A = this chain, B = another copy of it.
Amino acid sequence: MEKNSGVQLARRIAAGELPAQDAMAEACERIATSEPEIQAFVATLDRATALSHAAQARGPLAGLAVAVKDIFDTADLPTAYGSSIYAGYQPGSDAAIVSLIRRAGGTVIGKTVTCEFAYMAPTQTRNPADLRRTAGGSSSGSAAAVAAGMVPFAIGTQTGGSTIRPASFCGIAGYKPSYDLFPTPGMKCFSWSLDTVGLFAATVTDVAWFAEALIGRSLARSPLDMRQLVVGIPQAYPWEAPSASATQAVQQASTAIEAAGGKVRQIALPAWIGELYRAHAPLQEYEATQTLAFEFDRHRGSLSPMLGDFLQRAQRISVVQYDAARKLIDDAKMQMDSLFEGIDVLLTPSAPGEAPMGWTSTGDPAFNKVWTLLGTPCVSVPGLSGLEGCPMGVQVIAPPWQDQRCLAAAALVEAAIRTCRF
């Protein structure tokens, strides 16, 4: 099924060409058609409630179905955080981001599959681009629901690479905002220093519009022109090397940018980026031993072996290691200006390669961890494929709080790629 452009749907609804209830009815039908195959949802709103909500809704998202990762509390739908410990659990309130969706008129059409507590244990969700592959994680269902055209917009989270990676695997746009730009309260916390709300839509233009509708910042209007854009591309990474698919995607993006009049500069990542990369594990582990203490201490037997072992190992992280990791981040943030000197944004692969086959792994967040640690905005730009014919995203990164620049540059890259027809 075709992916849904949220912006185009919203325009038709606003112009009176498409009644809001009809748009919602179409979303319900698309979900009914695709869900048995994709398995993106753990709970959905019943059709009558969804239609009635859409009929009454006011605001930019009126008539639009939004899927929300089941790591966020919802007062009207059960919330299990991907864990059997919370099967059937009904929170008493909506997470803040859910309230923002409703304030903008959006209908929270359902809760999507998440890795257990948004960690790494594989989910059953199928990748709409290739049903034999994972949709990625931990925001598996949100990415797949958008990629399958079931909903125009979805909410996920990122603590390592849980938004950018599934967006890349599924061939859609994923946006990890600057740390703290979108509210996390009401999200089941994994790591308070890292947890970030993520957004998904069919294209970068759509995801920027969705982001603006939610928090009322100027995020969708571009302050950039391709002829002034300077994109920095790292020559190498202090973690695993990109696959041939990832390398090809970055080369194609580079070609497309230059063909459209933009500039590309090869850059060398500074040495501290490699140190910072290694700070992700102790930081996340130390915090998870506290945030998931209740589940580990009281329900160990109901955790997956992967998460149970992780939390067991994580207890070895000392206060000294944790403080050292925090200090590395603080020091790194001071050097952000030098990282972006002479360039507007960075461009890297969104993931090491295409989505892995099968359901034994949700993929590797290696290309995402440093940016999550730094709190930078990141956008996964869709439109390219790898050597196996599956989607392969490129990631645009801007300095913290420069989300408008990041989204605008990503939209220019997206348009340039589309023009090139690789």
Contact = CB atoms under 8 A, between A and B. Distances in A.
Interface in A67-96: 75, 86, 89, 91-94, 96
B319 A216 contact: yes
Contacts of A89: 92
Contacts of A103: 293, 297
Contact of A183 (B183, B216, B291): B291
Interface in A313-334: 319, 323
A185 interface: yes
Given A297-B102, A319-B217, A290 B183 contact: yes
Interface in A257-295: 287, 290-291, 293-295
A47 B180 CA distance: 43
A327 B258 CA distance: 36
Contacts of A96: 189, 290-291, 293-294
A361 interface: no
A295 B92 CA distance: 10
Contacts of A297: 99, 102-103
A217 B286 CA distance: 13
Nearest to A184: B192
A86 to B, nearest CB: 6
A222 interface: no
A100 interface: yes
Contacts of A102: 297
A193 interface: yes
Q: Chain A contact residues (Cβ within 8 angstroms of B): what range?
A: 35 or more
A180 B290 CA distance: 12
A308 to B, nearest CB: 16
A216 B323 CA distance: 13
B216 A193 contact: no
Nearest to A89: B92
Contacts of A293: 94, 96, 99-100, 103
9 contacts: A75-B294, A86-B92, A89-B92, A91-B92, A94-B294, A96-B291, A96-B294, A185-B189, A185-B192
Given A94-B294, A96-B293, A185-B290, 9 more contacts: A93-B294, A98-B294, A99-B293, A100-B293, A180-B193, A185-B291, A215-B319, A217-B319, A323-B401
